[in-house]
Amino acid sequence: MEHDVLARVAFDLSPSGMLAVDGEGRVVAVNAEAERLFGWARHELIGRSIESLVPERFRGVHSGHRAGFFQDPRGRPMGAGRELYALRRDGTEFPIEIGLNPARTDRGLFVLASVVDISARRRHEENLRRSQKLEAIGVLAGGIAHDFNNILLGIVGHTELALREAGLSPQAREDLDRVLKAAERGRQLVQRILLFSRSSEVTRVPLRLERIVREALELLRASLPSTIEIRPEFDPATPTVLSDEIQIHQVLMNLATNSAHAMASGGVLRVTLQPFEATAEFAASHPGTRAGPHARLTVSDSGAGMAPEILERVLEPFFTTKAPGEGTGLGLSVIHGIVKRHGGAMEIASEVGRGTTVTLYLPAGDVAAGEAAPGPEPAEPRRPRVLFVEDEAVLAVMQRRQLEHLGFEVTVHTSSLEALDDFRARPTAFELVITDDTMPGMTGSKLAGEIHRLRRAQGRGLLRPDGVAALRLFERLA
């Protein structure tokens, strides 16, 4: 008797949903968790056919005896866990893991089933698969884009040099202008691909998102049709984030532009900014995030919405439902990449005829740390002598001519090892080193490190801390 009481208590208090089913496939006992999972009261579940708790498309698939719902078509033992779908009282489906244990008694065969809702685990697995897929695509796209960017840079640079030549006919100048514009469009596309794939960090400063969002919306108001109403809503308690202003501006412009395309006949564009406290559960279900205060930026529209099969693919690079020439399919994937590099998360909800909502979660930043993070602005070189390192010969020649046109004295090397030997031989000969990073033999980052080490050994000031900063200086000078 005591054993029966303990078994009944264990059954009732189990954290898993528990159902006992007789040989006719009818429920004879349930616990409180099973009531919660399926949405039925205990007295409503008892006597009900077990098949009524399964989506109709699965009924009859697991055939056998009347309790054949529990029969595993793969022939595993009854006690082994298996995954399938169950049906709640309100008609919604949810994934479960079910463990089955048969028991033969004087009253016949009974099956004891333990049921666990695995919706959260499925979401986590799907997020992980999506992240891995996007990472793989990003690596491939980044490699292709880097090489293509070098080709376009050569086209742009040499075209600019040709346009400086005197004596060009008006037709030739017009043709070269067209080449330059086409190449620039190509470079802009490549930069978006690189932004999607790049894992390196950009310089971030403390930002109040409300100012940036307001500025972006002012620009959008002038370009969006008058049939689209913009409704902003900002909570002043939204925390500061450490970010790059240009990237945040790009994120908002892309989202708003997508919403505008979805509301061709007009509608409402809502943009809200609110504080959000991420829980441990939120962080567990959004890989790459952490618990704590966040800024939540939401952009929603009242447009056409997306079907589930479209929504499933919207983060894939180059996937677009727009007509040829109207979009590249990189907008949302670029946004997703930016948000992930911030340690944030992105959610998209959409329903056909009801519109789309994109929600971004950006972790709050340490303002004090953020203010100290940016380094000093690059100082202008006292003497215009530059060591330029680029393994692509075409680019090296073009960049040398560009720098010489600006008044610099330029020494070019297509090998980072040769450039380092040159610097060792005459360490005081250069005020600036501009180097590519991806090079055979020695990367630009390692070359910069060796140059810094040599400078420190001589008690001299450091050059710029990396090739990227030097290239930014060059872009500003050009």
Residue among 312, 271, 322 at smallest CA distance from 295: 271
Residues 1, 100 contacting (CB under 8 angstroms): no
Length of the chain: 478
Residues whose CB is less than 8 angstroms from the CB of residue 467 and which lie 6 or more positions away in sequence, other chains included: 433, 434, 435, 436, 437, 444, 445, 447, 448
Mean per-residue pLDDT of the chain: 76
Those residues with Cβ within 8 angstroms of residue 326's Cβ, 6 or more apart along the chain or in another chain: 320
The pLDDT confidence band at residue 73, using thresholds 50, 70 and 90, is very low
What are the pLDDT digits (tens) for 167-190? 888 888 888 888 888 787 777 666
Model confidence pLDDT, tens digit, residues 261-290: 888 888 999 999 999 999 998 988 888 889
Mean pLDDT, rounded, for 323-343: 65
Helices (H), 198-329: 209-223, 245-262, 280-285, 308-311
Dihedral Cα 430, 431, 435, 440, nearest 10 deg: 30
Residue 75 region, left (φ>0) first, then alpha (ψ -120 to 50), else beta? left
pTM for the structure as a whole:
0.43
